[in-house]
Amino acid sequence: MEQAKCLIIGSGPAGFTAAIYASRANLAPVLYCGMQPGGQLTQTTTVENFPGYPDGIDGNAMMDDLRRQAARFGADIRDGSIERIDLSKRPFRAVDDSGREIEAQTVIIATGASAKYLGLDDEKKYAGQGVSACATCDGFFYRKKTVAVVGGGDTACEEAIYLAGLCAKVYMIVRKNYLRASDVMRRRVEENAKIEILFNHNTVGLFGENGVEGAHLLKFMGTDREEAVDIAIDGFFLAIGHKPNTDLFKPLLDTDEAGYIKTVAGTPRTNIPGVFAAGDCADPHYRQAVVAAGSGCMAALEAERFLAAL
């Protein structure tokens, strides 16, 4: 049975930052990268809003930098995933996808979240070429251009309002005949001259030669009033929610209705002493790389203090 002071599950800004701090604290962390090494940023082209990169940086290159930095300080970084874990008592016991068993004194969960997509082939075709699931990450690239936001909830309204501050025009593609958002968000959208709401519309495809140039929609889809509609856009933003990658931990840790791990306010501490959560798996609100990195730092510091107090 392998022994570890600190087991970090998941990579990305939270996991790698936790590994950097835990390594420098001589915790000799073991980090499992998971199904998507580097996290959501590896699906992004240029990252321009992370401090320290004045000219921007490719998302994959940024994650490579963080990985190398963590490895430099001695983090044991492994490809692969944790398949099973027992948090009922310390030391915590985990089994990876190769069957290796690990006992850990502390665990940092940094498994992130995955954006929900419509399931269109064109979403993959145009990934990084006009399709995005984060307006605050990528909206800057569409200044004075025309974009569409898919969704009708508070998140979609927030993203549409944010994009309206940058773009010439914003379409909201809403499959229902109303917005699910709160009254205040609905009013803000309806009162914004740059936002046009397309009720009863479903996206069925995207088109464009060198990136997204438009979207194929169906109005009143599946009814005798069905009508094909094409709109010209430069960017297509998904705002239909995120799913935290926390299924492995739901029976063990306190989570909210959506599955995000609950932490003690202002800390990465979970309901189990010695187990910490960092990044998007515990953050339904901000979902930004710099916030995830900060929470990874906090988790490592908390793990160090927890071990020192034993």
Catalytic residue among 96, 122, 138, 234: 138
- Which amino acid, 255? T
From residue 34, alpha-carbon distances to 129, 206, 237 in Å are 26, 31, 26
Check: CB of residue 304 under 8 Å from CB of residue 33: no
Neighbours of 296 (CB within 10 A): 30
Catalytic residue among 33, 96, 122, 134: 134
Residue 139's closest CA among 116, 115, 168, 119? 168
Catalytic residue among 6, 33, 137, 157: 137
| Three-class DSSP category at 34 | strand
Q: Is 137 among the catalytic positions? A: yes
In terms of phi and psi (left: phi > 0; alpha: psi -120 to 50; beta: otherwise), the region of 201 is beta
**Separation CA 61–CA 306 (nearest Å):** 33
Q: Is 134 among the catalytic positions? A: yes
Check: CB of residue 274 under 8 Å from CB of residue 107: yes
Residue positions annotated with a catalytic role: 134, 137-138
